[in-house]
Amino acid sequence: MYKFALFSVVFFQFIFVSAQTTIQKNEVGFTLLRNGKPYYVKGVGGEVNFDKMVAIGANSLRTWGVENAQQILDEAQKRGLTVMLGMWLQHERHGFDYNNEAKVKKQLEYFKTVVDRFKGHPALLLWGIGNELDLEYTNPNCWNAVQDIAKYIHQTDPNHPTSTVTAGLDSLEVNYIKERCPDIDIYCVNTYGDIPNVPSNIGKFGWNGPYMITEWGPNGHWESPQTSWGVSIEQTSTEKAIVYYQRYKNYIEANQQYCLGSYAFLWGAKQEYTETWYGLFSKENMPTEPIDALEKAFKGIEIKNPAPSILKINIDNKVAKENVELKAENKFYAEVILNLPDSLKQGDIKYHWRVMEESTDKKSGGDVESEATEIAGLILKGASDSKILFRTPEREGAYRLFVSIVSNGKMAYANIPFRVLPRSAEDKQARFIKLKYTDMSSFDL
């Protein structure tokens, strides 16, 4: 599909030779080749902790933009990693008009300079032209813009395939890309809970070429069960670890004839619905339990020093799906129950509990969100133990109780949403009498 060519490029006085990525069609499907050798992508999506990528057996990383492309490519090259270099095309949902020829041309000219600058870098694996342009859009002309960039890449860079990424998999977008983007080589899908349907649907929808899963991980917040007051229930880190491993083995690795690999999301930390929903690292940059699952999947080995594993989190013996509703300014127990291996003792574990307001800055497509607010002073006893006594906030509304559990330099975590209900006049009077005549210092766990 691509002619062989070598380019010598000078970066910071080091001479690098461009590597070649090709797609080979065979009797059963397709194989990605790097310098003529099969190269199955075991990737992560993110631009941090490069050494940890190597340690867990990843061989590639994905970016969404080119702001730090030079540094990222150079750091990847030092470690033998490759890069799916993303081009962040503007979105209609952010106000970009793909009928505005001048703006579309300006965008094209910019990305031509990007291609010219980085096409010879030896860490470059493939180009990712746009991410989820189909999310909340109405104008299919965005695919014409994708095609213009892909066409330019084929004209000037014979060494690297082109791709574009859709939000999930839909037959309409498959048809648009087939018809309007003939220079796209690899169809890329961001998918979460729907990943089991991708291997069968992508061919059914009409894409007969190679594809990749370029974001995947836990169940998305939009596809998770909700409480009666309408907030999504997040999987624990243990539940996420299970689905990372199973989804990789069953729906990615098992379909290598057409699926050329994947990029797990997110190699980093971010606030998206909650502060823990998608990040594979905590906001303090500590590796979390699902990374163990990725290492097990990528390397095919058991983890010797695993993160703690969670069986259940509850408030007053109620789990999240039981819609935990609590009166304001009352005291309640909460507990996290672990499944500890023989090598791990309770004394080796650190717990940290927090009460957080439910985030009100919830957006779509991974757009930047403000962090939720922590309500300090509510953990009354057991803040460093598996069982706590806590007080509910004074103000009614939606909250979450978060716990993080650290051992072996790794973190497990869970949260349980709860709703605070206002106190009635009778409740307030009863509380006044109780506080006046009862010594609460003897309240024990």
* Average of per-residue pLDDT across 258-264: 98
Check residue 47 and give its pLDDT.
96
The answer to whether 47 and 72 have CB atoms below 8 angstroms apart is yes
- For residues 127 and 439, what is the distance between their CA atoms, to the nearest angstrom? 67
- Residue 257 pLDDT greater than 90, yes or no: yes
Check residue 346 and give its pLDDT.
66
pLDDT tens digits along 211-229: 999 999 999 999 999 999 9
The answer to whether 197 and 257 have CB atoms below 8 angstroms apart is no
Q: What percent of the chain has pLDDT over 70?
A: 90
pLDDT tens digits along 80-114: 999 999 999 999 999 999 999 999 999 999 999 99
Check residue 366 and give its pLDDT.
84
- For residues 372 and 355, what is the distance between their CA atoms, to the nearest angstrom? 10
The closest alpha carbon to 277, from 414, 433, 106, belongs to 414
- Residue 383 pLDDT greater than 70, yes or no: yes
Check residue 408 and give its pLDDT.
87
Check residue 33 and give its pLDDT.
98
**Average per-residue pLDDT in the chain?**
92
- Residue 180 pLDDT greater than 50, yes or no: yes
Q: At 445, is the pLDDT very low, low, confident or very high (cuts 50, 70, 90)?
A: very low
What are the residues whose beta carbons fall under 8 Å from the beta carbon of 232, sequence distance 6 or more?
221, 222, 224, 225, 226, 273
φ/ψ of residue 25, rounded to 5: -85, 135
Candidates 3.40.50.12280, 3.20.10.10, 3.20.20.80, 3.30.50.10; CATH matching 8-299:
3.20.20.80
Q: What percent of the chain has pLDDT over 90?
A: 85
Domain boundaries for CATH 3.20.20.80 within the chain: 8-299
Domain boundaries for CATH 2.60.40.10 within the chain: 310-442
- 281 beta partners: 287
Please give the CATH number for the structural domain made up of 310-442: 2.60.40.10
Distance of CA 124 to CAs 85, 102, 120, 283, Å? 7, 30, 8, 28
Q: At 444, is the pLDDT very low, low, confident or very high (cuts 50, 70, 90)?
A: very low
- For residues 115 and 309, what is the distance between their CA atoms, to the nearest angstrom? 45
- Residue 38 pLDDT greater than 50, yes or no: yes
Long-range contact pairs involving 194-203 (C-beta distance under 8 Å, separation at least 24): 194/168, 194/169, 194/223, 195/247, 195/251, 195/252, 196/247, 196/250, 196/251, 197/169, 198/169, 198/251, 199/251, 199/254, 199/255, 199/258, 199/259, 201/169, 202/169, 202/174, 202/258, 203/258
Q: At 345, is the pLDDT very low, low, confident or very high (cuts 50, 70, 90)?
A: low
- Residue 437 pLDDT greater than 60, yes or no: no
- For residues 414 and 313, what is the distance between their CA atoms, to the nearest angstrom? 7
Q: Considering the entire predicted model, what is its pTM? A: 0.91
Strand 60-62 relative to strand 211-215, pairing: unpaired
Q: Is the peptide bond before 61 cis (omega within 30 degrees of 0)?
A: no
The closest alpha carbon to 161, from 143, 184, 142, belongs to 184
φ/ψ of residue 260, rounded to 5: -85, 0
- Residue 239 pLDDT greater than 70, yes or no: yes
Which amino acid does the sequence have at 324?
V
Q: At 439, is the pLDDT very low, low, confident or very high (cuts 50, 70, 90)?
A: very low
Check residue 367 and give its pLDDT.
84
Distance of CA 140 to CAs 91, 97, 173, Å? 11, 11, 9
The answer to whether 308 and 413 have CB atoms below 8 angstroms apart is no
The closest alpha carbon to 199, from 246, 132, 258, belongs to 258
Q: How long, in residues, is the chain? A: 445
Q: At 429, is the pLDDT very low, low, confident or very high (cuts 50, 70, 90)?
A: very low
